[in-house]
A and B are shown apart, each in its own frame.
Chain A
Amino acid sequence: MQLIDQHTKRIMEGCKARAREAGLRFQDETLEYIVTNRDLLELSPKLMIPTLYDYWVHDVEVLKEKGKYELYPGNPYETVINTRPAISFYNDNNPDWLNVMIFYHVLAHIDFFQNNLFFRHTWDDDFTGQALADKRTIARLRAERGRWVDYVIEFARGIDNLVGYHDELARIDRARQPRTAARVDYYFDVFLQSVRQVKTNAYIEEIERYNRCAAESPHTCEDVFFAEVEHRYPEFGSLYQKYRQRPAPGRQDLLQHLMAHSEFLNREDNRWMKTVIEVVRQTALFFQPQIRTKIMNEGWASYWHEKLFLRDDRISGHEVDYARVNAGVTALPRVGLNPYALGMRLFEHIEALAAKGRYAFGFQRLRDTHARERYDDGRGGGQAFIFEVRENGSDFTFINTFVDQAFIDRHRLFVAGRRLDPARMVWQYYVRSREADAYRQMLIGALYHPPHVTVSPQPGPDGALQLVHRFEGKPLVTEFIANTLLGIEYLWGAPVCLETSEVVPAAPAPAGDGGALPLAAPREEAPPVSHTWQRVRYTMKSRILRREVLDQAAAA
């Protein structure tokens, strides 16, 4: 692993200047490394962070990847990691013109990392430095505790996809609220109503007394008011303190809940486990936005490398080479999805529409097809609009808001289906739908979406931890439940229950065998299969998993 040479670095600096001119914003310093294929194989299980903590699963992955590489050699052009300064990795031996293209692509990624609000919580730290500190902590613990460190890592990673990523964002985003009014709120909203349960007229009297105080002494109002209150209810002060220290309800993810409330983890000689869990949790939080902005991030980078490369004066003579490479990266496949291609085209589409003011209310209100086709408010500003999209969007909002029928029609996109023609024993690929809704649903269905699992506030029998999986039309992967719950049980130190939904096993379908179908033309479009769902509770107790059916609720 070595830094790129001065010549190449100069190319990079030239790219930076041009990218800035075009409007991209990113920190000045970047680091570029040349890596060998072997380095890449060893980096990828660590999600390209060279300083990530050691863990045996990574070793297994490396061994696997090496085997795989023997069969399918192939290298990415570049990889960027979201650190301060941003680090990117390259293969050796790229010609200069190709480097220009790749650097623009990389700079757009960096711009995205450093401006998209979903990355807000990663802006203030250098993750490689943090990871290095964590790696050392874990290495030290491993020297003391041996393999038990790896078990804790394993069990924590088992639930690291349930981290409260959005809560974390909300916590950062929430404007600091003035804390002064809190005591008044507590007194009137909670204390009087729930704790003392005073009568309505007493309550109104208190409000009037407060208003009087406010009118008489606007500056010392609260002190005067509460002096009286504390006299009347001596317990008020301590109750209020308790209330403030209470964690906000429902704002802890599972890992936090375990760290805060598990007796096992809070035992004197198990405290070290919390350090490990916190490392795993922070790492998971760090990678969350990357998974959730794949299409946008790749689209944004492809959009900019195309735009900036064609404008670049240093590469004349290599337009054909460029076109060939670029087509490979950004072609829309006949069947299948290419996030680079899709994201890039969607950004272009948004830009074109926004330039004509078609996201404005005036356009949305138009019903006349002709008027819609010709609509152009002449204000321009398409590019400013996509900059805003890149700042505020994630894959879900990007697709959900902007994939419209015009986009589908313009790029002739469709949802492709596959079915068996049993007479000729071929799979047929066919155009299933060209509706924007169907296409959008297909895309959204493919996005990362971890299950929503919450901790129920009241513990079950034997101090069992009660987890509830909110049903969203899909079951959990059954094979993984046992080992995941085993890990949670270990960390919780008591039994764990998980409530989830599963499909009621159906009777064997008579046509379950492909050959048993009528040997006629390809099967007609099958009616959507309706499943009967039931609520199921898994209980992990003393490392033994039990399953019980709670109730059956028909759902389509």
Chain B
Amino acid sequence: MSGDLRDRPGLAMARFSPTMRLRSLDELLERDRQRESDGFPRKIRVGRMIKPGAGRKGKVVVVPTTVEEKLIHDTQFQPPTEDRQGGGSGAGEPGEVIGEEPVRPEGAGAGTGPGQGEGANHEMESSAYDLGRILTEQFQLPNLKDKGKKRSLTRYSYHLTDRHVGQGQLLDKKATLRRILETNIQLGRIDPAEVDTGELMIAPRDKVYRVLSPEKDLESQAMVFFLRDYSGSMDGKPTELVVTQHVLIYSWLLYQYARQVESRFILHDTEAREVQDFYTYYNSKVAGGTQVASALRLVNDLVARESLARDYNIYVFHGTDGDDWDTDGSHTLPELRRMLDYASRVGFTVVERAFVREAGSEVSRYLKASGLLESQSRLLRLDTLPEETDEPRLIEGIRRLTAE
């Protein structure tokens, strides 16, 4: 190591770090784009989110990932219903149940009131915003054309935010004290060993006031509903794909609407429920049967009850493996028609398992049969993915779901 250092004169020891040539995310993505022109598929994925294992206040951080593909054994090729096994120690007869874990840990909905970490949420948003920027710029996702033109969304309110020296409405004591100290240090009137506040000189220019100033208050322009099937059949790959795509869509909209996006998260199996936040949405585990209509009905009810259609551009994205007990869509399609009356865009993502690919899954079959995809093509989009989809295809999917 030290030998390496000697070759680079002028490099201070303290600056040494094993990966001195660490590149930034943007550089890496630029490089990844270069791959395409060299004829190799892209490798870097963005937007894999890492979630806290326990506790609701966790942060979500957007990070790049890449997989070094090799020929390796697939140890999880068995169907998801198969039991999983591992090691253990302690008491218990063979066959005896030694512990239980709820499939969907409760306490997510009620426990997280408005007091729950604002900062954490913000953190997620800011890195999701970056992701949106990356998606738009690096992957050339469409820019929405008419964002924010529908109605004036700017209004002003006044806050005591700006600082002003010398005069104003309210003395900012902390800032003032800081300036006084600065001045006195410069004048050499402070002995660090013994600070006598009585001796400090106060110049008029040191007084800092807060003044009222207009603040732009932006209203949210878009309301996005993320719907996700979390029935038992979604175990594994389909859930991963759906959730990843929803993260990407969310980030992209966040960027497009300059953060003025509100999102609602709905999970369904045979019944639908709204969950408070993205973490719950992201983390809830799969089990149970499937009724797609239940989720659409819940969205329709929410929109009607809160008269959301008046104030927002409403987007609905639904992710499923296409399995539905309502096989001919007799419950789902009426709800969908109601939804198309107000929504700006409804996008279905269907991740089809290998064994249904020939015939098509129930959801894609009845959507196609209904004719809505053609007659309402501006409003309704369907994207069918195979189970082994990679990220570029997911991003391509977003383009399909969102393009004009």
Genuine A/B complex: yes
Q: Does B63 make an interface contact (CB < 8 A)?
A: yes
A515 near B287 with CB under 8 A, answer yes
Beta-carbon contacts under 8 Å, A494-515 to B = 498, 503, 505-509, 511-515
Given A479-B390, A483-B69: A64 and B101 interface contact (C-beta under 8 Å) = no
Judge if B388 is at the interface, Cβ distance under 8 Å. Answer: yes
CB of A17 to closest CB in B, whole Å:
28
* 8 Å CB contact of A64 from B31, B64, B78, B81: B64
Closest to B34 in A: A147
Q: In the assembled complex, which residues on chain A have CB atoms less than 8 Å from the CB atom of B83? A: 417-419, 432, 526
What chain A residues lie within 8 Å of B156 (beta carbons)?
none
Q: Is the interface of B mostly helix, strand, loop or mixed?
A: loop
Q: Name the residue of chain B whose CB is nearest to the CB of A40.
A: B18
Sorting the interface of chain B by its residue count into under 10, 10 to 19, 20 to 34 or 35 or more gives: 35 or more
Partner of B17, one of A42, A151, A478, A543: A42
Residue pairs across A and B with CB atoms within 8 Å: the count is: 282
Q: Interface SS of chain A: helix, strand, loop or mixed?
A: mixed
Counting chain B CB atoms within 10 Å of each CB, the highest count among A60, A439, A507 belongs to: A60
User: Is the beta-carbon distance between A432 and B94 smaller than 8 angstroms?
Assistant: yes
Contact with A along B294-329 (1 / 0, CB 8 A): 000000000000000000000000000001000000
B85 to A68, Cβ gap below 8 A?
no
CB-based contact B233/A442 at 8 Å: no
Would A57 and B66 count as touching, CB distance under 8 A?
yes
Of all chain A residues, the one with the shortest Cβ separation from B45 is: A60
A413–B89 CB distance below 8 A: yes
Report the minimum CB–CB distance from B65 to chain A (whole Å).
Answer: 6
Which residue of chain B has its CB nearest to the CB of A522? B97
Given A42-B22, A426-B100, A512-B81, check contact A476 B74 (CB 8 Å).
yes
A326-363 contacts to B (CB < 8 Å) = 332-337, 342
Neighbour of A450 across the interface among B72, B75, B87, B88, CB < 8 A: B72
Is B158 part of the binding interface, using a Cβ–Cβ cutoff of 8 Å? no
Task: Give A286 to B115 CA distance when docked, in angstroms.
Answer: 53
Closest chain B residue to A162 by CB distance?
B71
Tell me the count of chain A residues lying within 8 A, CB to CB, of chain B: 103
Q: How far is the CB of B271 from chain A (nearest CB, A)?
A: 11
B88 touches A414 (CB 8 A): yes
The verdict on A400 contacting chain B, using a C-beta distance below 8 Å, is no
Kindly list chain A residues whose C-beta atoms are within 8 Å of the C-beta of B28.
Answer: 56, 59-60, 63
Tell me if A390 is interfacial: C-beta within 8 Å of chain B: no
The docked-state distance in angstroms from the alpha carbon of A71 to that of B84 is 27
Residues in A whose Cβ lies below 8 Å from that of B72? 161, 450-451, 476-477, 480
The reply on A128 being an interface residue by CB < 8 A is yes
Residue A420 at the chain B interface, CB threshold 8 Å: yes
Mark interface residues in B28-41 (1 if CB within 8 Å of A CB, else 0). Answer: 10010010001111
Q: Is B23 an interface residue (CB 8 A)?
A: yes
The segment out of B54-62, B194-202, B366-374 that lies at the interface is B54-62
**Which residues of chain B have C-beta atoms less than 8 A from A442's C-beta?**
85-87
Is the CB–CB distance between A38 and B17 below 8 Å? yes
In the complex, the chain B residue whose C-beta lies closest to that of A51 is: B1
Q: Least Cβ distance of A328 to chain B in Å?
A: 16
Return the chain B residue nearest A65 by Cβ: B63
Cβ B232 vs Cβ A474 within 8 A? no
In contact, B50 and A337 (Cβ under 8 angstroms):
no
Docked CA distance A42–B291 (Å) = 47
